[in-house]
């Protein structure tokens, strides 16, 4: 969220910016899965991304409602 906030201060964050933010946020999680079997990582990845995106949308909604 911090990265989003910093980028948003400079102007609208587009799809490529959002993708970069998600990629950077995913790296520490994937680092923890390095020693796990690839099949497990592949099975967990969609759920991890979905959870991250849900949390991001929830925070964005809270911020927008606080401004209103």
Domain residue spans of the chain: 36-68
Distance CA 21, CA 38 (A): 24
The rounded Cα 6 to chain-centroid distance in angstroms is 14
Q: Quick one: CA torsion of 12, 14, 19, 22, rounded to 10 degrees?
A: 20
Overall average pLDDT of the 18-38 stretch: 87
pTM for the structure as a whole: 0.62
What is the structure's pLDDT at 35?
Answer: 94
Contact 4, 13 (CB under 8 A): yes
Residue bearing tokens 């520490």:
28
What is the structure's pLDDT at 1?
Answer: 67
Give tens-digit pLDDT for 41-63. Answer: 999 989 988 988 898 888 888 87
């Amino acid at each position: 969220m911090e990265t989003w906030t910093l980028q948003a201060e400079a102007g609208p964050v587009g799809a490529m910016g959002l993708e970069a933010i998600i990629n950077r946020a995913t790296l520490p999680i994937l680092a923890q899965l390095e020693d796990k079997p690839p099949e497990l990582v592949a099975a967990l990845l969609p759920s991890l991304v979905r959870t991250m995106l849900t949390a991001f949308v929830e925070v964005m909604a809270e911020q927008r409602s606080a401004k209103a």
